[in-house]
Amino acid sequence: MSDAYIALADGRVLEARCRAPGTTRGELVFTTAYTGYEESLTDPSYEEQVLTFSYTLIGNYGVRADRFESSRIHPRAAIAREFTDEMATWFESEGVPAIDHIETRDLVTSIREDGAMKCGIAAGEDVTPEDAKAELAECKEMSDHTEIGQQVTTTETTVHRGGGEADVALIDCGAKGSIIDSLTERGADVHVLSCQTAAEEIRELDPDVLFISNGPGDPANFQNTQSLVEEFAGELPIAGICLGQQIVARAFGGDTEKMAFGHRGVNQPVIDLDTKQVVMTTQNHGYTVSDPGDLEVTQRNVNDDTAEGLADDERGIITRQYHPEANPGPHDSLGFFDDVLAMVDTQSAVTAD
């Protein structure tokens, strides 16, 4: 008799083994990454989702807090062919349901063919398929999570010192810790601000760069952050990563759309349209820029031609859809942060003239 069930939007109910008990629901997605499971699970961009690992064994090199991207696990549940006991202990300590001994190849194929879908999970003693179905019935579409930014943003402004060579106002829509590290390692002081921050607070801070972070959900639900981009466009250099690129595009008259199953993994090829160089990138997003508006598309995904980089040199705009900072890698695109901080020097020179 099984002690875990997952009910899918396509009508199926699959049996599994409980590794951490609980009932929950969310959008079922998958990642093809075979390393970096600690980073993936603590990435705020997975908020309100159920994360399936396509790689067979998850946990084979342990769990270390110094590899976490945030203070907690963000997916509402996790699925693998097999989780180690150490992983099961971690999930249970955080109250996050986890199931394994399930045919993940079938799950991944279903998501590839039918798209990311709603699901319900029930795991633990005495659970039934009906419990999983009940969770599925309560599951919302990702775009309906209108307050998702408030679930992951900082509750107070924090400052991370890197040497004072530049002041970066990082709007936290669900920022990964490695973004902060990548900026401080280059001498910048990073001021982490809520995605609900008012423009007046940023003016008082007087930063050198406005940086929009990654985050979960539909970019259309981050209206306040979009208004900040609109407010400071042409006044401050602006950068964005992942969700940040999408918000910036919308602020410049562009549009976004939901992808069928998104990009989640560590081997997405991206081509720079100017240099023709291809880099391998880490990605985690379910929405994409469908119309760049007033911005120029500078990089594209080799597999599906979606926009991976946007820019406006005159107004000091640079964004990436992928994660240049991603740990454990690849690190082909870390130069993005040098390019962001170089905009400070350019802006200073223009102001001096």
Q: Which is nearest to 207 in space by CA: 221, 181, 228?
A: 228
Main-chain dihedrals φ then ψ at residue 213, nearest 5 degrees? -80, 175
Q: Which is nearest to 88 in space by CA: 3, 148, 177?
A: 3
> How many Å apart are CA 201 and CA 248, to the nearest integer?
19
> How many Å apart are CA 214 and CA 225, to the nearest integer?
12
> How many Å apart are CA 289 and CA 321, to the nearest integer?
9
- List residues with catalytic annotation: 242, 323, 325
> How many Å apart are CA 289 and CA 292, to the nearest integer?
6
The residue assigned the tokens 């759309």 is 257
- The Cα angle at residue 209 between residues 206 and 215, in degrees rounded to 5: 115
Say what angle helices 223-232 and 243-251 make with each other, to 10 degrees: 60
Q: Which residues are annotated as a binding site for L-glutamine?
A: 45, 215, 217, 243, 246, 284, 286-287
